[in-house]
Structure 1
């Protein structure tokens, strides 16, 4: 951001405001747009040498004399010199770069431009500043399957720091009242919070007065490591066997894969996820067509956890169900037919036998008259 104003004596001053660690463009151009490739222009800040150009001889090409504060951070615009532009850019600005700058053309009727640079400090880790809080100490005080109590401790900070617990999304978490202990103008601070979800948590320590901020991270896993999956055969039919793998209450979200005994990942249907309070129930199905030992592998990379279960699929006979049912029906029909034939033969023989007896009796009666 630039603004123009006038200093004592009527000289125009350009005010430039940038954030710390950003790049500052300090303007300096001749209104005549005279080519200055062979000229001399000199940038100074409070009497210190910032940048000097003299007919292509300049600090970045080996010329000596530049103040150590600006070494390797100040550059001009070579292609703009022919238009009378002697502006410079200061890379990675520091708070101490702020101040009054002059851009002078000693050989051109003493043209001098005035620039005021303001560098707005940002919050960042400044361990070199006296009283800056060190990186906090974080730990888990207590934990159950449903929650964890986290503690953040900072020692010897001055001025008094602000402590905050944040989740991985940057949300500030509710916490107990901080506990302060003051010793000779320095502060020890404890801040506790209770969390109920698996996540990466940060304790952030801020000291606005000295633009200092530091933090520490801890990982909390709440009762979410997947247990051994449940595997089963859902259907055995023509074309293969349908296998199902099921996991319940896993957090973070697990990855399920079906593999054969050689470790090859098998194609599967889209997994079915059900989310409940940050935990996941997952079902994964696949169809196999070969006899083998099959494994359902459950992986949670974030917590370096993996578990699996195995199931054996026996030789698969095509149309086995239909064939068995047909064979039973055919056997029953044959048995009925055979039994019917046998009964028919028995009945026929019995009839013939009766007829013979009757015939024999009749013949004997004719031979023996009363």
Structure 2
């Protein structure tokens, strides 16, 4: 946990831009229902044990306050009811300048811009801004609902709500009964005829939209804003992640000394997954090589298996498929004794052929020499002796 915090704080320090007494916004994105660490530390990294720092949302929602040992979790009053019992800090890290907080069980209503303030630092105060975003994972080609409602579940039929992507592209706008393609213009052409809303549910505060046939080009951070409702500053954020999860394939590549080289691979997969090779007991096999493409849409794992068994690939991916498996495949691995036996047979057969060849060559040379020297054929002599005996008789 401490290592994660230090990495987060380093990211905050080196990517934030000083704007007067404020630091540029840093984004923290987590899946719905998980805990979120909002990192914060003054540039001086000074001991905060006797200092004052506070966290606010929308400039008025009191999220957390620490004042020289006193805080909302040990008696201080004033914390917003939305955050009571859900926010903690790292007391043992205050001496190293860590004012980070943890928000438990993050929901859509928790998303937005948070301010971490050090009002009494010298020579001047400092303020950091963190954007908390909820991740939403969807499969490519599906119709996706992006949920949104104001805090008070107000009747929205005569109000305004506005959906944007990446704070620059107009996705959907509703304004007192008018909306895109019904009296309103300005929608980004990429979203034309693809976005609908739930008009019959506006009276119960439902400002959700549906994006049809989502593609990976729809990936981004979407914001849903109610500019005129109270409390002010109601703007919620969803990071839409559109992914694919094809089934991984298993193949046997070639025989090696003492084993078989096998491979797991998957094409067109997003977000970037991890890959493992498991045996029949579901125990991972150490890989010899893992390759990921630059765009994160291809992964390849190779391993050497040394025992006969059934093996399968396990691909793990955040949010979309979680885990997906290849078909189990039996891999037969020849033992060292078997290979020695077959090698011995090969050597023995080669020796027999060589001996037969030498015998045939000797036999040919022997009879060829007899013919050249005029020596009679033994078979002819035998016939002559038989003829002589016949005549004598």
TM-score range, shorter-chain basis?
0.3 to 0.5
Per residue, is there more helix in 1 or in 2?
A: 2
Per residue, is there more strand in 1 or in 2?
A: 1
Q: Which structure is larger by alpha-carbon Rg, 1 or 2? A: 1
TM-score (norm 1): 0.47
